């Protein structure tokens, strides 16, 4: 299946795995890329440029297909060595970077000089236009239903994607709520050139996370995510659990007077506990409404192959006869 995305990145299918904290290790990125999609290592999870260099090398041992590195610019608790990360990505011969959070204006010259393609993930048309203006090659348009940080505008993909299609000159991929062949066909119909999936890839056999997380995603429904951190203008969609319900309650009770310290126990240092130890009540972790569409734990190969087969079937047998 050829689109502007497959052509630009030299991949078989227009399916991308977005960066995911404590999920996007070499095993995850390589499995997606080996299955014909585009996998991403999550740069910040590695902690230091040295460890990231090692992770890039490990991924290269696992696949000879293209893969990328996600660089997230978000408020974090630890100070991040961004120049070191960018240097490592360039030295490591990575050909594509996914940026998220703030726009990547400051690192663009270094990435472009190195011939690296940049996909910027953003949650509004104005941010997508800004990304286009500063030279990003692709935008990943993340609707309100997405796992992680949907921004502060709350526009779902049914509106956001056609708005992006109307305004952008560069290609874009649809992110948030994508799970299967129906999602892919819908995204293409709404103007995207491919899809980005997060939560769906966590519930795969290849994802290097605890089985409790995968089983939790399969068990959850579309009613089980919550929006938190809005008072901090750092809104995040997470899977509900006891800790998340405490955060929701504190945000309600404390209103404008809430401080980060009030919720620190529920949001700081959570990912290793959930993803590595499988402690599902440890705190808040990103998860999309798409959990409602996930009811199995396939390999990435099975997931991508069946997504493409389903999409082809819908296009040929349901849509083409309507034309």
| Binding residues vs ligand FMN (CB under 6 A) | 18-21, 23, 42, 70, 72, 100, 121, 142, 146-148, 175-178, 196-200, 202, 285-288, 290
DSSP string of 223-271, one letter each residue: T-EEEE-GGGT--EEEE--HHHHHHHHHHHHHGGG--HHHHHHHHTTHH
| Minimum distance, C-beta of residue 100 to ligand FMN, in the bound complex (Å) | 3
Cβ proximity to ligand FMN: between 253 and 295 the closer is 295
Cβ proximity to ligand FMN: between 142 and 224 the closer is 142
Q: Do 230 and 269 form a contact (C-beta atoms < 8 A)?
A: no
Q: Do 231 and 245 form a contact (C-beta atoms < 8 A)?
A: no
| Minimum distance, C-beta of residue 239 to ligand FMN, in the bound complex (Å) | 9
- Give the whole-angstrom CA distance, residue 322 versus residue 104: 43
Q: Do 204 and 300 form a contact (C-beta atoms < 8 A)?
A: yes
Cβ proximity to ligand FMN: between 85 and 146 the closer is 146
- Give the whole-angstrom CA distance, residue 237 versus residue 210: 20
| Minimum distance, C-beta of residue 70 to ligand FMN, in the bound complex (Å) | 5
Report the relative pairing of strands 225-228 and 67-73 from DSSP bridges: unpaired
Q: Do 71 and 104 form a contact (C-beta atoms < 8 A)?
A: yes
| Minimum distance, C-beta of residue 14 to ligand FMN, in the bound complex (Å) | 15
| Minimum distance, C-beta of residue 101 to ligand FMN, in the bound complex (Å) | 7
Tokens of 188: 């293409």
Number of C-alpha atoms within 13 angstroms, CB side, residue 276? 9
| Minimum distance, C-beta of residue 280 to ligand FMN, in the bound complex (Å) | 13
Q: Which residues does residue 172 pair with via DSSP β-bridges, in sequence order?
A: 139
Cβ proximity to ligand FMN: between 164 and 290 the closer is 290
Cβ proximity to ligand FMN: between 11 and 23 the closer is 23
Taking CB atoms, the residue at the shortest distance from ligand FMN is 198
Cβ proximity to ligand FMN: between 5 and 23 the closer is 23
């Amino acid at each position: 299946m050829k689109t502007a995305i497959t052509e630009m990145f030299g991949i078989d299918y227009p399916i991308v795995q977005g960066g995911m904290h404590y999920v996007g290790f070499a095993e995850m990125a390589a499995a997606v890329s080996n299955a014909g999609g585009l996998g991403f290592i999550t740069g910040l999870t590695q902690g230091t440029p040295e460890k990231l260099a090692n992770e890039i090398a490990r991924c290269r041992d696992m696949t000879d297909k293209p893969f990328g590195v996600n660089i997230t610019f978000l408020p974090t608790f630890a100070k991040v060595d961004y120049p070191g990360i960018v240097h490592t990505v360039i030295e490591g011969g990575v050909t594509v970077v996914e940026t998220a959070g703030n726009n990547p204006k400051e690192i663009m010259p270094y990435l472009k000089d190195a011939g690296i393609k940049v996909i910027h993930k953003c949650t509004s048309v104005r941010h997508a236009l800004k990304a286009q203006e500063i030279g990003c090659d692709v935008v990943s348009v993340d609707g309100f239903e997405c796992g992680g940080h949907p921004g502060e505008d709350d526009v779902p993909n049914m509106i956001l994607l056609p708005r992006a299609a109307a305004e952008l000159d560069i290609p874009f991929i649809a992110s948030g709520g994508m799970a299967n062949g129906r999602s892919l066909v819908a995204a293409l119909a709404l103007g995207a050139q491919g899809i980005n999936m997060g939560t769906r890839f966590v519930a795969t056999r290849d994802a290097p996370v605890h089985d409790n997380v995968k089983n939790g995603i399969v068990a959850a429904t579309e009613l089980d995510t919550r929006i938190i951190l809005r008072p901090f203008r750092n809104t995040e969609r997470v899977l509900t659990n006891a800790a998340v319900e405490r955060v929701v309650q504190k945000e309600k009770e404390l209103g404008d007077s809430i401080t980060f310290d009030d919720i620190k126990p529920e949001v700081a240092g959570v990912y290793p506990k959930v993803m590595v130890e499988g402690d599902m009540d440890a705190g808040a972790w990103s998860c999309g409404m798409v959990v409602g569409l996930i009811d199995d734990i396939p390999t990435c190969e099975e997931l991508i192959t069946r997504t493409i087969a389903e999409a082809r079937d819908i296009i040929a047998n349901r849509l083409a006869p309507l034309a």
